[in-house]
Amino acid sequence: MLESTFAVRPAVQGEAGVLHDLAALTFPLACPPSTSEAAKAAFIEQHLSREAFKSYLVDPQRLVLVAERPAGAGEAAAEPAELIGYAMLVHGEPSDLDVARAVQGRPTAELSKLYVHQAQHGGGIASELVEHALLAAAVHGAVSVWLGVNIYNARANRFYEKAGFEVVGRKGFLVGEVVEDDYVRERPLR
């Protein structure tokens, strides 16, 4: 069921566990069909664990944004707020040589992660997370934002193209022990 009411805000330190849970549900959706369950699990354990999110949330070069469905209204219908999507922005020079060669705008920031709960797809959540991330990158002084997206993820590639991210190169992306093929996409901010 699509929710039309949500808010985007920075994540807080106590949300590492819920971010891990959401990441474990959403990351596999972006993987090509050839990615093994073991590779997905290894990636989640290494990069999307509770401990990983704890470190992301205190890293001054990172900003984790969350899309949240507000808590229910009224005592009888009261439900806790629910995270339904998240994005991570990483400020700084790309460490991957293929990305560094491909990305033209400097200083730059990486839109490292952008995932929305499958039940919420099509509700404008991803677009809102991207807009908040772009604004945050500009405020931090970036003149471009880049991202990597699997070349076989047609849905994500259509979304990023519509959001103004153009293909500027390719890079490898390690999932488990398999190097996947990603497009490098960039969007200028000025």
Q: What is the pLDDT along the chain (190 residues), one digit of tens a residue?
A: 444 589 999 999 999 999 999 999 999 988 888 888 998 998 999 999 999 999 999 999 999 999 998 876 444 455 667 999 999 999 999 999 999 999 999 999 999 999 999 988 888 999 999 999 999 999 999 999 999 999 989 999 999 999 999 999 999 887 777 677 899 999 999 7
Helices 50-58 and 16-26, packing angle to 10 deg? 120
Length of the chain: 190
Phi, psi dihedrals of residue 92, rounded to the nearest 5°: 125, 175
DSSP class of 13: G
Q: How far apart, in whole angstroms, are the C-alpha atoms of residue 190 and residue 105?
A: 10
* Closest to 18 in 3D by CA, of 81, 89, 61: 81
DSSP-assigned states of every residue in 47-103: HSSHHHHHHHHH-TTEEEEEEEEPPPSSSTT----EEEEEEEEEES--SSHHHHHH-
CA distance 76 to 23: 30
- For residues 123 and 3, is the Cβ–Cβ distance under 8 A? yes
Instruction: Classify strands 144-150 and 108-116 as parallel, antiparallel or unpaired.
Output: parallel
* pTM score: 0.89
Residue 130 DSSP SS3 = helix
